Structure 1
């Protein structure tokens, strides 16, 4: 037997698909994580459908017109792709992203992972692809099913929309895209904090508590900070063009919301990679 055969350095480096397969085994072993994401997706669809179903009365009997304001028009996009269901998916996806990182640190599995694969960037890239792909699929399912179901219901009231209508495809894609973005943000928080409670609490504060500090239209700079937080981007993307629904003064443009969402996702990946590479396990 040759010396090269016994030399560990002669063993081929793991391929990227091998890293994804290894990450999938880890994720699949935590059954509660993907069951929670699946349950959250189902509940989010039910919440959206129920919200529009309860609106049927207001569609049949619209509120009286307020003096000096345009007549009320129902916005199937804003109500059918609702913020409550979106918030639920944000928490579920963010928690899944966080646990894929801090879970390995709390159990000590990360040492075994890096001993087997010293290329930390490759490991994190595999996690990003896997978690991002799974949560993107969940986002697409929730967004598409919600849109189709609520507009099928609204067709009898002659206010239903199709994907070909202006702003609809954008809204469906934006509502789906925020889910993997929140998952990536969760991964970054998990890498930074390496603690279950701290990561989830920080996620909730970033998604829901921080926006309360940057609301209102009195101070433009405060409002603009708020409109560049993660969930504010999808709120803008799900408003139908020409609708009476509005984000108030200083609302961001559609391209600005897309750019902001992309920046949050890219920044989260960069933070995760840098922190995992430079900090000891």
Structure 2
């Protein structure tokens, strides 16, 4: 009796080798390319920056004319406090949040309105990672815009005021804090626009809601009551004002600078959460 040896052969796998999953750094690079491939983005950045400078310079010229008509006491008060607000005024801050809010919305709508988001999610099924990378790129670009806008606004305003010997430098009390607060407005507003775009997914409606939430609603709230002041304290623009400017003497409903930082942080976290989580729970 001969022993027979049987050899077991394993069938070759029909599965194709899987491609390695995209690293987060790859997603960042991809989102950066996609951001600047949108033709509206460079125009949105340039337009926002140009309008901010126009608003700042116009306000600085008005302040300079008003300065020359003041007495010595009024001029001294302006040099102490007015030069700070002239460096980045409320109009410039409003333009910055509206512009960057729209930019944040465009970063999402650019793919959703064309249907390219389906291709993106097919190539990278990890939707949360894709949206997290998009949020990171948006934050970086918006922060850069905010820093440039704050510095150029400060330089333009002080150049105008220096003609009346009212200009100040970075060492003036409150200037650096105002510029930091102003630069921080940009990424916060951009995240709000991005979160609303991921939630609404309609171009016109998203822009309308973003502008209404960031500018229109805060402008119509009456801050003379405790309830109205509390609502204002929850808005981005009012938080910027509290951080950037000194607390007004005798303000009826004062609040802390820490509270203003918390407001900006909450807006950012909620908006980023909307952008990331809605992509996971809703199919395209």
Scaled by the length of structure 2, what TM-score is found?
0.86
Q: 1:19 aligns with which of 27, 30, 46?
A: 27
Q: 2:210 aligns with which of 193, 203, 211?
A: 203
Cα gap change, 1:65 to 1:165, in 2 (>3 Å): closer
Cα gap change, 1:247 to 1:121, in 2 (>3 Å): farther
Structure 1 unaligned residues grouped into runs of 5+: none
Shift of residue 63 of structure 1?
7.4
Cα gap change, 1:176 to 1:19, in 2 (>3 Å): same
Contact kept in structure 1, 2:98 and 2:215, CA below 8 Å? no
Cα gap change, 1:169 to 1:64, in 2 (>3 Å): closer
Q: CA–CA distance in 2 between the matches of 1:247 and 1:126?
A: 45
Q: 1:7 aligns with which of 16, 27, 44?
A: 16
Aligned partner of residue 214 in structure 2, secondary structure: helix
Structure 2 unaligned residues grouped into runs of 5+: 1-11
Q: 2:177 aligns with which of 136, 155, 170?
A: 170
Match of 1:250 in 2: 253
Q: CA–CA distance in 2 between the matches of 1:224 and 1:177?
A: 22
Shift of residue 253 of structure 1?
2.2
Cα gap change, 1:228 to 1:6, in 2 (>3 Å): same
Residue 150 (str. 1) matches residue 153 (str. 2): no
Q: Which has the larger radius of gyration?
A: 2
Contact kept in structure 2, 1:186 and 1:203, CA below 8 Å? yes
Q: How many residues are matched?
A: 270
Cα gap change, 1:246 to 1:174, in 2 (>3 Å): farther
Q: 2:109 aligns with which of 81, 102, 116?
A: 102
Q: CA–CA distance in 2 between the matches of 1:87 and 1:60?
A: 27
Q: CA–CA distance in 2 between the matches of 1:264 and 1:165?
A: 30
Cα gap change, 1:99 to 1:26, in 2 (>3 Å): same
Shift of residue 221 of structure 1?
1.9
Q: CA–CA distance in 2 between the matches of 1:20 and 1:247?
A: 48
RMSD value over aligned CA atoms? Answer: 2.5
Contact kept in structure 1, 2:101 and 2:211, CA below 8 Å? no
Scaled by the length of structure 1, what TM-score is found?
0.87
Shift of residue 50 of structure 1?
2.3
Q: 1:278 aligns with which of 267, 271, 281?
A: 281
Aligned partner of residue 22 in structure 2, secondary structure: coil
Query: How big is each residue's C-alpha offset from its partner over 1:24-75, in whole Å with a ceiling of 9 and x where there is no partner?
Result: 2222221122222122112212321221122111111127999xxxx95351
Aligned partner of residue 211 in structure 1, secondary structure: helix
Query: How big is each residue's C-alpha offset from its partner over 1:164-190, in whole Å with a ceiling of 9 and x where there is no partner?
Result: 232221110000110111000000100
Aligned partner of residue 113 in structure 2, secondary structure: helix
Q: CA–CA distance in 1 between the matches of 2:52 and 2:17?
A: 49
Q: CA–CA distance in 1 between the matches of 2:275 and 2:13?
A: 36
Structure-to-structure mapping, 1:14-53, within 5 angstroms: 14-53=22-61
Match of 1:268 in 2: 271
Q: CA–CA distance in 2 between the matches of 1:148 and 1:75?
A: 15
Q: CA–CA distance in 2 between the matches of 1:153 and 1:254?
A: 30
Aligned partner of residue 43 in structure 2, secondary structure: helix
